[in-house]
């Protein structure tokens, strides 16, 4: 009876696979957008002459509009670009009275602290923001300022010892916007007491700082929740750090993450390619702060996500421990039973994380967001303001090399060598030849860019595996991987999670040491990545160049490192790799694949314990994964995160559900108890699609003594 049920379900697989594409291209929406392009009004400040990027729709297409500063012809989006020539900074000469915002590196506590009381005078002003070069692209946004000082992005940091009473005076100098202020209250915050400030209004209040931790305050010019705050007011955030009586960690640094969009980009994601400027402490890569450490240093960083987007934060080359985690409202130290070690941790909007790591190998390393759109080199302020099309930008992208093809949420660090270096293994290396190729035969008939392994004769020029072939390496044995580029453009491959030397790490123009930087792999050229994996586990390899195109189109695969305790038995070890849907998905976030399929299925046997190795490498999604049926979630036991084994205290049976962002992996032990058809649901948090993996559990074929001993 059970067998018949299984067959029935199997034959219904294609019909039962629900493939939702909430953001499917809509020709009417396209037309509407084209029409909207002629219906923008740019709102000017009271002083006139500069754009605060508050864009509203007007009835009339094009034509003349009267503003305080005179007449401005607003026609198509093309003329919006004309209003902002290549260097929008030119406009600042006309507005010498708009203060320049300085990027806030969160090292200076704001206000005056005396006798356990902090006196702080803030104002909200319009400021000219330079998120990139000091003389580069800029725009005017509302910003927070300490009275008597330059406006800061992010806003002034409130940093006080536990027990401090904070007296704040805050004035809204904006001529038109009503301001809604959140988070200037005692931690933990149990109720969001919003302070409203009418244009020109000043308010003052006092609160006790409360519990130690990392938090932030934020403001908006409307009733938006944090997830909705993404336009010009998105830079109205400041850190709140409450230090414990036991003192502070010397050298610890604080990073506030912000995301800013133009209104057109934010139209409910109706555009296929919403573009976001993502900043750390007010700046976008490569203009973010650079750090220099010495091999073996212990680094303490606090991350605070003030933005409306999630960020899977990935550290190259090293594991980090999340020592504390929280939100803008409350913060707690991690407990020994929590899974805290990883190389990627996804921060949803409003969350905070304190982390610690030891960079114990020299060279250049990165910590960055793993969403391709948050590190893509085309997401510059100029491109956002000018609304350049992707096609336009790709035409010029050949001129970008290495570091300059990235922008956004990236921190770079140089680690100086200290002491004796680990010598390379002298054992005969394991040799692999990995080709990067195009194929017209990708998912759903779309063209793909991906990997294929050469075994013997060279594979056909148009053969590509989706996902890439699983690479098996041995712990402690040198691997020598020749990556051959058969694409028309440059590429580079990152061995994600590998604790290896910097040079083969895969970031062209950055990985390596001074004078010895890894180059991008040119068309018809190759690169030899040579390294020794020091740890067995589940890892990833993927493109680290033009990821919106390359990783989305199929340049991803699982990298499994084995040793005597971590073998890979195809009967037991089941890889579940969540990837993008192939080219055609270059920019939009809709769609995903699992193990290269739109109808993934897995056949298991009741009573056998499997290791599910889940690899999340869709570069534009965060997903909730759940194993069960319609009515219940099953149980599994996590055993590793990002390739690192968990401690016994962390490795306990629990409900089989997990949240993962791009770049995370997890190993879970699962024993199906009885035959049936179950599923692993993979649902995106925001991108609007979900994809179930059918789990077909057969009756056990083993003769087991069910009666026990």
Q: How far is the CB of 278 from Cu ion (least distance, A)?
A: 6
Cβ proximity to Cu ion, 296 vs 688, nearer residue: 688
CA separation for the pair 413, 393 (Å, rounded): 28
Give the end-to-end CA distance of the chain in Å, rounded to a whole number.
29
Q: How far is the CB of 215 from Cu ion (least distance, A)?
A: 20
CA separation for the pair 603, 1 (Å, rounded): 18
The answer to whether 235 and 260 are in contact (CB under 8 A) is: yes
Cβ proximity to Cu ion, 341 vs 374, nearer residue: 374
Q: How far is the CB of 312 from Cu ion (least distance, A)?
A: 7
CA separation for the pair 645, 285 (Å, rounded): 33
Q: How far is the CB of 275 from Cu ion (least distance, A)?
A: 13
Q: Pick the piece of the chain touching Cu ion (CB under 5 A) from 32-40, 305-313, 337-345, 601-609.
A: 305-313
Cβ proximity to Cu ion, 312 vs 317, nearer residue: 312
- Taking residue 135's Cβ as centre, other Cβ atoms within 10 Å add up to 10
Q: How far is the CB of 688 from Cu ion (least distance, A)?
A: 18
The 571-590 contact track toward Cu ion, x by CB under 5 A, reads: --------------------
CA distance to 170, 180, 216, per residue, from 189 (Å):
20, 17, 11
Cβ proximity to Cu ion, 370 vs 566, nearer residue: 370
Q: Pick the piece of the chain touching Cu ion (CB under 5 A) from 58-66, 306-314, 349-357, 572-580.
A: 306-314
Is residue 275 a contact point for Cu ion (CB under 5 A)? no
Cβ proximity to Cu ion, 372 vs 403, nearer residue: 372
CA distance to 71, 108, 518, per residue, from 503 (Å):
56, 36, 6
Is residue 311 a contact point for Cu ion (CB under 5 A)? yes
Size of the site for Cu ion (CB under 5 A): 4
Cβ proximity to Cu ion, 276 vs 667, nearer residue: 276
3-state secondary structure string across 118-133: EEEEEEEEEEEECCCC
The rounded radius of gyration (Å) of the Cα atoms in the chain is: 26
CA separation for the pair 68, 74 (Å, rounded): 15
Give rounded-to-5 percent helix, strand, coil for the chain: 10, 45, 45
Cβ proximity to Cu ion, 311 vs 613, nearer residue: 311
The 140-179 contact track toward Cu ion, x by CB under 5 A, reads: ----------------------------------------
Among 518, 525, 485, residue whose Cα is nearest residue 500 = 518
Among 177, 95, 166, residue whose Cα is nearest residue 143 = 177
Cβ proximity to Cu ion, 157 vs 371, nearer residue: 371
Among 690, 702, 491, residue whose Cα is nearest residue 594 = 690
Which phi and psi angles does 92 have, rounded to 5°? -65, -25
CA separation for the pair 197, 178 (Å, rounded): 6
Cβ proximity to Cu ion, 151 vs 412, nearer residue: 412
CA separation for the pair 52, 46 (Å, rounded): 10
CA separation for the pair 647, 116 (Å, rounded): 42
Q: How far is the CB of 371 from Cu ion (least distance, A)?
A: 4
633-636 contact pairs (CB < 8 A, 24+): 633/657, 634/670, 634/678, 636/612, 636/668, 636/669, 636/670
Cβ proximity to Cu ion, 371 vs 586, nearer residue: 371
Q: How far is the CB of 93 from Cu ion (least distance, A)?
A: 34
- Taking residue 49's Cβ as centre, other Cβ atoms within 10 Å add up to 16
Exposed e or buried b per residue across 183-198, where buried means at least 16 C-beta atoms within 10 angstroms of its C-beta: bbbebebeeeeebebe
Q: How far is the CB of 345 from Cu ion (least distance, A)?
A: 12
Element housing 550 (H / E): helix 547-550
Q: Pick the piece of the chain touching Cu ion (CB under 5 A) from 303-311, 383-391, 561-569, 580-588.
A: 303-311
CA separation for the pair 172, 49 (Å, rounded): 21
Q: How far is the CB of 299 from Cu ion (least distance, A)?
A: 21
Q: Pick the piece of the chain touching Cu ion (CB under 5 A) from 154-162, 311-319, 591-599, 682-690.
A: 311-319
CA separation for the pair 164, 157 (Å, rounded): 15
Q: How far is the CB of 369 from Cu ion (least distance, A)?
A: 3
**Which of the 8 DSSP states describes residue 647?**
P
The answer to whether 386 and 81 are in contact (CB under 8 A) is: yes
Cβ proximity to Cu ion, 179 vs 578, nearer residue: 578
Q: Pick the piece of the chain touching Cu ion (CB under 5 A) from 308-316, 431-439, 445-453, 665-673.
A: 308-316
Q: How far is the CB of 411 from Cu ion (least distance, A)?
A: 13
In degrees, rounded to 5, the angle at the alpha carbon of residue 468 between the alpha carbons of residues 341 and 448 is 125
Q: How far is the CB of 58 from Cu ion (least distance, A)?
A: 33
Helix (H, G, I), strand (E, B) or coil at 143: strand
Q: How far is the CB of 405 from Cu ion (least distance, A)?
A: 17
Q: How far is the CB of 539 from Cu ion (least distance, A)?
A: 21
The 357-386 contact track toward Cu ion, x by CB under 5 A, reads: ------------x-x--x------------
CA distance to 471, 475, 498, per residue, from 532 (Å):
14, 7, 9
Helix (H, G, I), strand (E, B) or coil at 30: helix
Q: How far is the CB of 471 from Cu ion (least distance, A)?
A: 27
**Which of the 8 DSSP states describes residue 571?**
T
Q: How far is the CB of 368 from Cu ion (least distance, A)?
A: 8
Positions in 605-634 near Cu ion (CB under 5 A): none
Strand residue runs (E) in 424-474: 430-439, 448-453, 468-474
Cβ proximity to Cu ion, 301 vs 668, nearer residue: 301
Q: How far is the CB of 623 from Cu ion (least distance, A)?
A: 15
Per-position DSSP letters for 200-221, written without gaps between them: T-EEEEEEE-BSSEEEEEEEES
Cβ proximity to Cu ion, 183 vs 258, nearer residue: 258
Q: How far is the CB of 259 from Cu ion (least distance, A)?
A: 8
Cβ proximity to Cu ion, 209 vs 347, nearer residue: 347
Is residue 507 a contact point for Cu ion (CB under 5 A)? no
Cβ proximity to Cu ion, 266 vs 627, nearer residue: 266
Positions in 85-144 near Cu ion (CB under 5 A): none
Q: Pick the piece of the chain touching Cu ion (CB under 5 A) from 10-18, 153-161, 310-318, 525-533.
A: 310-318
Among 169, 134, 119, 142, residue whose Cα is nearest residue 43 = 142
Cβ proximity to Cu ion, 349 vs 600, nearer residue: 349
**Which of the 8 DSSP states describes residue 9?**
H
Cβ proximity to Cu ion, 346 vs 543, nearer residue: 346
Cβ proximity to Cu ion, 283 vs 311, nearer residue: 311
Chain CA centroid to CA 472, Å: 27
Which residues sit at the interface with Cu ion, rule CB under 5 A? 311, 369, 371, 374
């Amino acid at each position: 009876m059970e067998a018949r049920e299984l067959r029935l379900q199997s034959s219904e697989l294609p019909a039962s696979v629900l493939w939702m594409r909430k953001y499917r291209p809509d020709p009417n929406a396209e037309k509407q957008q084209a029409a909207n392009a002629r219906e923008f009004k740019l709102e000017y400040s009271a002083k006139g002459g500069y754009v605060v990027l508050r864009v509203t729709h007007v009835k009339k297409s094009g034509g003349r509009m009267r503003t305080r500063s005179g007449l401005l012809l607003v026609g198509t989006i093309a003329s919006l670009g004309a209003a902002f020539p290549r260097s929008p900074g030119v406009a600042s000469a006309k507005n010498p009275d708009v203060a320049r915002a300085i990027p806030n590196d969160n090292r200076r506590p704001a206000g005056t602290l005396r006798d356990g009381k902090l006196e702080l005078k803030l104002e909200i002003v319009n400021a000219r923001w330079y998120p990139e070069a000091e003389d580069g692209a800029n725009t005017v946004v509302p910003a927070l300022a300490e009275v008597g000082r330059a406006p800061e992005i992010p806003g002034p940091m409130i940093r006080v010892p536990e027990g401090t009473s904070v007296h704040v005076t805050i004035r809204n100098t904006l001529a038109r916007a009503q301001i809604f202020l959140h988070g200037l209250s005692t931690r933990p915050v149990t109720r969001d007491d919003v302070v409203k400030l009418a244009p020109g209004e000043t308010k003052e209040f006092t609160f006790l700082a409360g519990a130690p931790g990392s938090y932030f305050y934020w403001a908006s010019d409307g009733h938006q929740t944090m997830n909705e705050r993404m336009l010009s007011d998105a830079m109205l955030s400041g850190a709140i750090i409450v230090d414990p009586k036991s003192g502070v960690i010397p050298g610890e640094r604080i990073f506030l993450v912000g995301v800013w969009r133009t209104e057109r980009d934010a139209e409910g994601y109706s555009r296929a390619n919403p573009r976001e400027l993502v900043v750390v402490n007010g700046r976008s890569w490569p203009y973010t702060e650079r750090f220099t450490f010495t091999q073996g240093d212990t680094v303490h960083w606090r991350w605070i996500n003030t933005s409306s987007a999630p960020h899977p934060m990935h550290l190259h080359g090293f594991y980090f421990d999340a020592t504390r985690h929280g939100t803008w409202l409350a913060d707690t130290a991690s407990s020994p039973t929590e899974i805290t070690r990883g190389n990627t941790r996804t921060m949803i909007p409003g969350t905070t994380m304190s982390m610690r790591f030891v960079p114990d190998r020299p060279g250049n390393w990165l910590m960055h967001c793993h969403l391709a759109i948050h590190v893509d080199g085309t997401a510059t302020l100029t491109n956002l303001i000018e609304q350049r099309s992707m096609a336009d930008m790709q035409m010029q992208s050949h001129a970008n090399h290495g570091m300059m093809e990235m922008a956004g949420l990236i921190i770079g660090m140089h680690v100086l060598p200290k002491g004796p270096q680990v010598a390379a293994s002298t054992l005969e290396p394991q040799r692999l030849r990995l080709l990067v190729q195009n194929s017209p035969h990708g998912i759903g008939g779309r063209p793909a860019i991906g990997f294929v392994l050469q075994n013997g004769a060279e594979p056909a020029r148009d053969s590509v595996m989706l996902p890439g072939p699983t690479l098996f390496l041995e712990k402690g044995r040198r691997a020598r991987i020749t990556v051959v580029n058969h694409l028309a453009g440059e590429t580079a491959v990152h061995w994600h999670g590998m604790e290896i030397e910097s040079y083969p790490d895969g970031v062209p123009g950055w990985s390596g040491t001074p004078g010895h930087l890894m180059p991008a792999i040119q068309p018809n050229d190759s690169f030899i990545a040579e390294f020794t994996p020091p740890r067995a586990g589940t890892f990833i390899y993927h493109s680290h160049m033009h990821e919106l195109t390359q990783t989305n189109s199929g340049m991803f695969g699982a990298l499994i490192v084995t040793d005597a305790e971590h073998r890979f038995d195809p009967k037991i070890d089941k890889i579940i790799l969540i990837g993008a849907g192939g080219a055609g998905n270059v920019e939009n976030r809709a769609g995903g694949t699992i193990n290269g399929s739109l109808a993934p299925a897995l056949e298991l046997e009741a009573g056998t314990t499997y290791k599910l190795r889940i690899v999340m490498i869709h570069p534009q999604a965060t997903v909730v994964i759940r194993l069960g049926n319609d009515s219940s979630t099953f149980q599994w036991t996590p055993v590793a995160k990002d390739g690192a084994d968990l401690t016994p205290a962390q490795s306990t049976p629990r409900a089989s559900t997990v949240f993962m962002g791009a770049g995370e992996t997890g190993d879970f032990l699962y024993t199906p108890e009885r035959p049936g058809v179950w599923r692993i649901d993979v649902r995106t948090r925001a991108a609007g699609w979900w994809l179930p993996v059918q789990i077909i559990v057969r009756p056990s074929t083993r003769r087991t003594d069910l009666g026990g001993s």
